[in-house]
């Protein structure tokens, strides 16, 4: 099942964005094999390693390198997330792999990219998004930028952009018959995610000062508020008609709330709204606002989110052997992905047998 049935992927194990890309490819039906160092423990609760077998291979040895190249001969995609030069050092760089399979799409995931002054430096999500301007834009005015969860760099600008790159190359190889190398850098991808903000800044609608803009916590109608029970709600009523709906339902009365888009009024409006929201519990606000055009949602934690009625109706989460998994996304009308399977181990011989068997009778894509 899934739109990528028949596509074979070699994943050099790592952490974060590269495994995420491989996971999504597996969700979409690709046959992904995850290669790990000998002695690596596989935990079935590791959601990021789902739906693909894990195989132990020592790529520092000639035998291990030969084994990887055997898989590469039949593969459509290889994904790796090492520092630049590591795969070449182990004789598994793009030139080595494309020598045995010229159609191979070679996806490379790094923080800084394959070249540039920082290419060989260590780093993590917080560093990669720092040089793009994104980190400076997160947080409250006059406070230090908080370390965000690594959605922006690792998974948005990193794994998701790597996924886009390999899928684009997969479409192109059907025309040219030639593979190519995808240089996916989290710093590049994060910058691309901020295109909208650069556009607003060019138009004079965005300030570099943190916490002073429409979408970064300055606007009272686009922020989070604490309720009477200590839990939180999120308001996002930007458009005037939605703002009026919010005012009507919440009782935001008086001339103080008339000038929605005047930043000079925002501090006073926010203080007043904070006081009003604090008079009711989160559940009471949900009963009043959820499902209306007031652009409202409760702020749920990781345990609450899978139990929300909308997520239940759409099966946004699925439980596999007692572990909650986010369901594959997006949704496909004909080639719907199946239910994710727990991470599991497999021998190299089993994988080779499976791949060779699935290749019989299937004409090589041209």
Instruction: Tell me which residues are annotated as active site.
Output: 124, 154
Residue in the structure block whose two tokens are 């004789």: 91
Peptide bond into 330 cis (omega under 30): yes
Q: Quick check: 232 and 225 in contact, CB under 8 A?
A: yes
Beta strand spans in the chain (E): 8-12, 31-36, 53-56, 77-80, 105-110, 181-185, 222-226, 232-236, 296-298, 317-320, 323-326, 344-345
- Which residue in the block uniquely carries the two structure tokens 């039906």? 29
Structural contact between residues 92 and 69, judged by C-beta atoms closer than 8 angstroms: yes
Report yes or no: 42 and 19 within 8 Å, Cβ to Cβ.
no
Rounded-to-integer distance, Cα 62 and Cα 126, Å: 37
Tokens of 89: 């050092």
Place of tokens 């991470």: 343
């Amino acid at each position: 099942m899934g739109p990528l049935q028949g596509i074979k992927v070699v994943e050099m194990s790592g952490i974060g964005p590269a495994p995420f890309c491989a996971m999504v490819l597996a969700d979409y039906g690709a046959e992904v094999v995850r290669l790990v160092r000998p002695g690596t423990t596989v935990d079935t609760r590791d959601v990021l390693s789902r739906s693909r077998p894990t195989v132990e291979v020592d790529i520092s040895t000639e035998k291990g390198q030969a084994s990887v190249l055997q898989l590469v001969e039949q593969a459509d995609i290889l994904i790796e997330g090492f520092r630049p030069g590591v795969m070449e050092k182990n004789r598994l760089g793009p030139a080595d792999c494309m020598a045995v399979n010229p159609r191979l799409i070679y996806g490379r995931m790094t923080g800084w990219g394959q070249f540039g002054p920082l290419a060989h430096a260590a780093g993590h999500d917080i560093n990669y998004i720092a040089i793009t301007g994104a980190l400076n834009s997160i947080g409250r005015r006059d406070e230090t930028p908080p370390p965000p969860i690594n959605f922006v760099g690792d998974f948005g600008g990193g794994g998701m952009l790597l996924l886009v790159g390999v899928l684009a190359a997969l479409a192109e190889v059907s025309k040219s018959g030639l593979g190519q190398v995808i240089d996916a850098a989290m710093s590049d991808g994060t910058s691309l995610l901020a295109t909208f903000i650069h556009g607003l800044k060019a138009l004079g609608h965005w300030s570099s000062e943190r916490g002073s803009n429409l979408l970064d916590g300055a606007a009272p109608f686009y922020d989070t508020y604490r309720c009477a029970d200590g839990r939180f709600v999120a308001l996002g009523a930007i458009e005037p008609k939605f703002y009026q709906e919010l005012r009507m339902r919440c009782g935001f009365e008086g001339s103080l709330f008339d000038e929605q888009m005047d930043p000079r009024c925002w501090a006073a409006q926010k203080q007043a709204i904070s006081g009003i929201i604090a008079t009711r519990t989160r559940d009471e606000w949900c009963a009043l606002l959820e499902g209306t055009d007031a652009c409202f949602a409760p702020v749920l934690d990781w345990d609450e989110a899978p139990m929300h009625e909308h997520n239940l109706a759409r099966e946004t989460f699925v439980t596999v052997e007692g572990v909650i998994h986010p369901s594959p996304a997006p949704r496909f009308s004909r080639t719907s992905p199946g239910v994710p399977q727990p991470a599991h181990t497999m021998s190299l011989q089993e994988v080779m047998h499976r791949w060779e068997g699935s290749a019989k009778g299937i004409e090589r894509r041209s």
